[in-house]
């Protein structure tokens, strides 16, 4: 259970930090660009840690713990949750528009 939580936390944090950093560095000015660069670096560090714990970067040595088998199941669960939420939102909007 904890492996699902940690794997999805690290994956989503890395992706969100990198995307937020890119937008901040591109559209920001002055100190905002520096913050964007820091977000990108933090996101990349967490992404490397995620890949190491997932067993993809085995050349770095043995990870302190591994969630190699949990990553695919966690991503599938998140995708299923998003699809379910979108279907519910679509039905809600359809009901509201028809009323």
What is the rounded average pLDDT of the residues 56-71?
75
The answer, yes or no, to whether residue 95 has pLDDT greater than 80, is: yes
Q: For helices 70-98 and 2-27, what crossing angle results, to 10°?
A: 70
Task: Assign residue 7 a region (left: φ > 0; alpha: ψ between -120 and 50; beta: otherwise).
Answer: alpha
- Give the mean pLDDT of 55-83: 78
User: Rounded to whole angstroms, how far apart are CA atoms 88 and 18?
Assistant: 29
CB 50 within 8 A of CB 7: yes
Q: Is the pTM of this model over 0.85?
A: no
Decide: 17 and 46 in contact? Cβ < 8 Å.
yes
């Amino acid at each position: 259970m904890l492996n699902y939580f940690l794997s999805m936390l690290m994956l989503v944090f890395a992706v969100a930090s990198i995307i937020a950093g890119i937008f901040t560095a591109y559209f920001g000015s002055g100190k905002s660009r520096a913050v964007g660069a820091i977000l990108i670096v933090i996101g990349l560090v967490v992404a490397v840690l995620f890949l190491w714990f997932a067993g993809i970067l085995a050349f770095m040595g043995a990870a302190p713990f591994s969630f190699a088998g949990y990553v695919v199941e966690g991503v599938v669960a998140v995708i299923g949750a998003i699809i379910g939420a979108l279907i519910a939102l679509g039905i809600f909007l359809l009901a509201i528009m028809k009323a």
